[in-house]
Structure 1
Amino acid sequence: MRSALFHRQHVSAPTLLPEIESSTGGAGAAAWMAAHRGEVLAVVAEHGAAVVTGLGLHSVSDVEAVLGQLGVSPVREAEGFAARTEHAYGVYSSAAWPPRQPMCMHHELSYAGQFPGLLLFACLRAPATGGTTALADAAAVLDALPSEIVERFEREGWLLTRAYHEEIGTSLTQAFGTTDTHAIDRHCRDMDIVAEWQPDGSLRTRQHRRAVVRYPGTGRRCWFNQIAFLNQWTMDLEVREFLIDEYGLDGLPFNTYYGNGDSVAADTVEQINKVYEAHAVRRPWQAGDLMLVDNIRTAHSREPYEGPRQVVVAMADPKRQASPAAQTRSAAT
């Protein structure tokens, strides 16, 4: 066993999701985490994720207090792909996403210049059915993907395009916290994003990122991106056709490409999602659960559900990344 706290492992091939049992509840959750954070973080470091049960988390303030005892800096979301409610610094509601539509496997903000290294998911209210936050090991996914997919994306990186409209998708305020064009331009420059303001005042952006990254410390290669999730072929067919008719292909709220700008074929997106599914680990939510996820090593998804569901998300341990082109320029100098 990894530590005295380690209660049991929920086994679901090909990986393990450790469970750590706490006998405290509610008001004692923060004190328990302060006393055991080293052991909890060690389990996450070993396995890429862990679930802590018995904390009795009932409110956003409980989650904020637990986050404060982990000894990691909170991260404020920028460039989110779906609207959230900010409850506290680094603590948010789940992304606004239709309950009956799955949210595909992804790494949070893997396209952004700054992303969280650690995610906390706290279940304050479990749904009647479904709503599982499934996980997948990023290194195992990389090893299982067809070599022709990996080699091209690793060589070229991937490109995310976004179009910000008032009517659909994420608004400028939701993504950047402001509508001030100078502030948005400054953010985009700082984060290696190409920003193009349209004649109607809307914004389109492009950002070039690595698809495969090496995990800090170990150097293990991880499939770290949102190529499949944010691609046009993952959209509902009727929604995709409507948006293209209304705004054109370049006006989709988001889409992904190879690093050189070539389109990603539908069967490539399907292959990526099939590999994710083959490596998915599932554990139904119970109210009060806390799931900690290493955002580089472990991808996550959200499955369809029925009934009210309240899962609070906390983001922490900020990491920076640059576009492949920016890294090449830096190495040359």
Structure 2
Amino acid sequence: MEFIEGKLNEEKVFEGLVFPKTLNPSICNGTTELLVKMIEEKREWLSEILKLHNAILFRGFNVSSPEEFRQVVEAFDWEEMPYMGPTNRVMVTNRIYNANEAPLHQFINFHHEMFLTKQYPSKILFLCTQPSPEGGETCILPSHIVVSKMEKEIPEFVSELEKKGFMFKIKTANVNSNAILGTTWKSYLNTEDEVEAKKRSMEKLGCNSVEFNEDGSAEFVYGPLNPIREFEGKRVWFIPIVRHSANKKDTRTSFGDGTPLPSKGLETYKNILDKVCVDIKWEKGDVMLLDNLSVQHGRRPAKPPRSVFVSLCK
């Protein structure tokens, strides 16, 4: 059986390639069993499609639970990547986590999964079992297009950013919560010892320093870093230069020499993200596969209920 190419109203075309690529079953009522079988039969072809389009949406296969989602993930035969990050996530079954459970009224900004760590997944898969009645789209964008547009629209800023690098601080929570950055440093690094926490943060996070605060929170200091990285010959905007948290005090950025990033550069960056992003309007049973080295993702504000699961692959 073959996949049938689908079409989304919200899809866009970059460099002659549709984003994302939508694949449907050739029968009316697809099943998880059918999707698993087709993935196993067409792994090599799907890998080529992912390399070209950077994002694939499987629609019409009616994947209905985390357990069925795990079967889909395992059909690709990719090694698991355990989650490590400043967001609280629960593993609901083997290889499957709940997605970021930050309050639904908040926008989760664009990012590459686990960009704060030295090791990050090359692929990320999502399953939607309950679309929000309003909003809640998972928004995605191709990071290499961000680079090309930034270099075209504001080349001086990009050049200065690459030359000086940029610094940023991430402040952890002092009590575990469902906030966007809702994990304490003790949970994040799996230790209550500050000395061991510093050691682990250097080994696993690649930050420059850790500052522990009296209120129980901590600040991880990164940089100077070049936000643009190259993967397989493709330059991508890998590290976001706008805040990741809903609280402005939780993230702070500057050039590597400590001077502030110009508002024109930041506004241009934000405007480009808005122009090139695609808001995926979930349907129940959708599975989406992203190349995490090429695609940023985020979440639009939503009304409950909304249920999305995620799996990470090396």
Query: What TM-score comes out, normalization by structure 1 length?
Result: 0.79
Provide closer, same or farther for how the CA distance between residues 4 and 227 of structure 1 changes in structure 2, counting only shifts above 3 A. Answer: same
Q: 1:125 to 1:265 in 2, by over 3 A?
A: same
- For 1:111 and 1:282, how far apart are their aligned partners in 2? 24
Q: Does 1:185 align with 2:198?
A: yes
Q: Give the AA of the match of 2:137.
A: T
Map of 1:8 onto structure 2: 6
Aligned to 1:159: 167
Q: Retained in 2: the 8 A contact 1:105–1:273? A: no
Contact 1:137–1:298, Cα closer than 8 Å, also in 2: yes
Instruction: Please say if residues 174 and 216 of structure 2, whose CA atoms lie closer than 8 Å, have aligned partners that are also in contact.
Output: no
Which residue of structure 2 aligns with residue 197 of structure 1? Answer: 212
Task: Say whether the 8 Å CA contact 2:140–2:280 is kept in structure 1.
Answer: no
Query: Which residue of 191, 206, 214 corresponds with 2:221?
Result: 206
Q: Distance in 2 between matches of 1:126 and 1:150?
A: 38
2:297 match: secondary structure: strand
Is contact 1:158–1:256 with CA below 8 Å preserved after alignment?
yes
Deviation string, structure 1 residues 207-243 (Cα, Å, up to 9, x no partner):
2233111122xx1211111211437xxx4xxx54xxx
The CA distance in 1 between the partners of 2:54 and 2:67, in whole Å, is: 26
Give unmatched runs, 5+ long, in structure 2. none
* Structure 2 residue aligned with 1:327: none
Quote the offset at 1:13 in angstroms: 4.5
Q: Deviations over 1:22-48 (max 9, x none)?
A: 354134543332223222222111111
Equivalent position amino acid for 1:214 in 2: E
Answer with 121-130 or 162-171: which moved more. Answer: 162-171
| 8 Å contact kept, 1:78–1:177 | no
Equivalent pair of 2:105/2:302 in contact (CA under 8 Å)? yes
The residue that corresponds to 2:188 in the other structure is: 175
1:48 aligns with 2:54: yes
| Alignment partner of 1:79 is 2:85 | yes
Of residues 305, 309, 313, the one that matches 1:312 is 309
Aligned partners of 1:42 and 1:264: how far apart in 2?
A: 38
Segments of 5+ residues of structure 1 without an aligned counterpart are: 241-251, 318-333
Name the counterpart of 1:320.
Answer: none
Which stretches of structure 1, 4 residues or more, deviate above 6 A after TM superposition? none
C-alpha distance in 1 between matches for 2:281 and 2:239: 25
Q: Distance in 2 between matches of 1:222 and 1:300?
A: 14
Letter in 2 for 1:7: E
> Does the 8 Å CA contact 1:161/1:205 hold for their aligned counterparts?
yes
For the Cα contact (< 8 Å) 1:74–1:89, is it kept in 2? no
Counterpart of 2:146 in structure 1 is 141
In the other structure, the counterpart of 2:21 is 18
Matched residue type, 1:36: K
Equivalent runs, 1:236-251 vs 2, <5 Å:
240=248
Q: 1:117 aligns with which of 111, 119, 122?
A: 122
Q: How does 1:212-231 map to 2 (within 5 A)?
A: 212-216=228-232, 219-230=233-244
Residues paired across the two proteins, number:
295
Structure 2 CA distance, aligned partners of 1:224 and 1:43? 21
Which amino acid is 2:136 matched to? G
How far apart, CA to CA, are the structure 2 residues paired with 1:121 and 1:49? 11
- Give the CA deviation at 1:279: 0.5
Cα 1:174/1:30, change in 2 over 3 Å: farther
Contact 1:29 1:56 in 2 (8 A): no
In 2: Cα distance, 1:157 partner to 1:297 partner:
20
Which region of structure 1 is more displaced relative to structure 2, 108-117 or 256-265?
256-265
The answer as to whether partners of 2:241 and 2:253 remain within 8 angstroms in 1 is yes
Q: CA deviation at 1:129?
A: 1.6
- Identity percentage of aligned residues: 20
Matched ranges for 1:288-299 at <5 A? 288-299=285-296
> For the structure 1 residues 173 and 124, does the alpha-carbon distance in structure 2 shift closer, same or farther, using more than 3 Å as the test?
farther
Structure 2 residue 60 is matched with structure 1 residue 57: no
CA RMSD of aligned residues (A): 2.5
